[in-house]
Amino acid sequence: MSKELREAALNATKNCHAPYSKAYIGAAILTTDGEIISGCNVENASYPGCICAEQVAIVKAISEGKRNWSSIYVYSKAGWPPCGVCRQVMSEFAPKSLKIIIGDDGGNEKELTLGELLPHSFTPEEYSKN
Ligand code: ZN
């Protein structure tokens, strides 16, 4: 399944809108029912309007009612890990056990959990302590 996820993330880069960074990022979420939902980075001339590939995939999944995920594949040429904002967005919807696979153009892959990428995260549960 990792191969299919990588393929979906790579395919998503074909639709990137990255005229400023020239960084083509693709993300693919594997839902627990076996569906793959992908996304690409969408940049904007006004930088705060830029949206990471991971967030595009997450918003697509949520908007389609697909809230249970087993893993997310993140592809970039250099194998960049998800940025801090993406890690926080993931933590809103996924458990710390979510598997995150980071792949590069050489086929190298690194597998981490969300808990490893974002320890001590601020989650929706924090509000119950208020
Ligand atoms: Zn990001």
Contacts by 92-98 with C-beta closer than 8 Å and gap 24+? 92/123, 92/124, 93/58, 93/62, 93/67, 93/69, 94/69, 96/121, 98/69, 98/70, 98/71, 98/72
pLDDT of residue 26 exceeding 70? yes
Contact between 87 and 118 under an 8 Å Cβ cutoff? The reply is yes
CA distance 36 to 50: 23
pLDDT at 130: 83
pLDDT of residue 13 exceeding 80? yes
Q: How far is CA 4 from the centre of its chain?
A: 15
Residue 52 Cα to ligand 1 middle (Å):
4
Residue 32 Cα to ligand 1 middle (Å):
23
Give per-residue pLDDT as tens, 43-72: 999 999 999 999 999 999 999 999 999 999
Q: Which of 44, 53, 51 is nearest to 10 (CA)?
A: 53
In the chain, how many domains are there? 1
**Average pLDDT value over all residues in the chain:** 96
- Mean pLDDT for 11-27 is 98
Q: Is 109 tagged catalytic?
A: no
Q: Which of 4, 54, 116, 125 is catalytic?
A: 54
Residue 29 Cα to ligand 1 middle (Å):
14
Give per-residue pLDDT as tens, 97-127: 999 999 999 999 999 999 999 999 888 888 8
**Residues around ligand 1, an ion, CB closer than 5 A:** 52, 83, 86
- Mean pLDDT for 63-91 is 97
CA distance 47 to 59: 19
pTM listed for this prediction: 0.95
CA distance 82 to 117: 9
CATH code of residue 38:
3.40.140.10
- For residue 30, give its domain range: 2-127
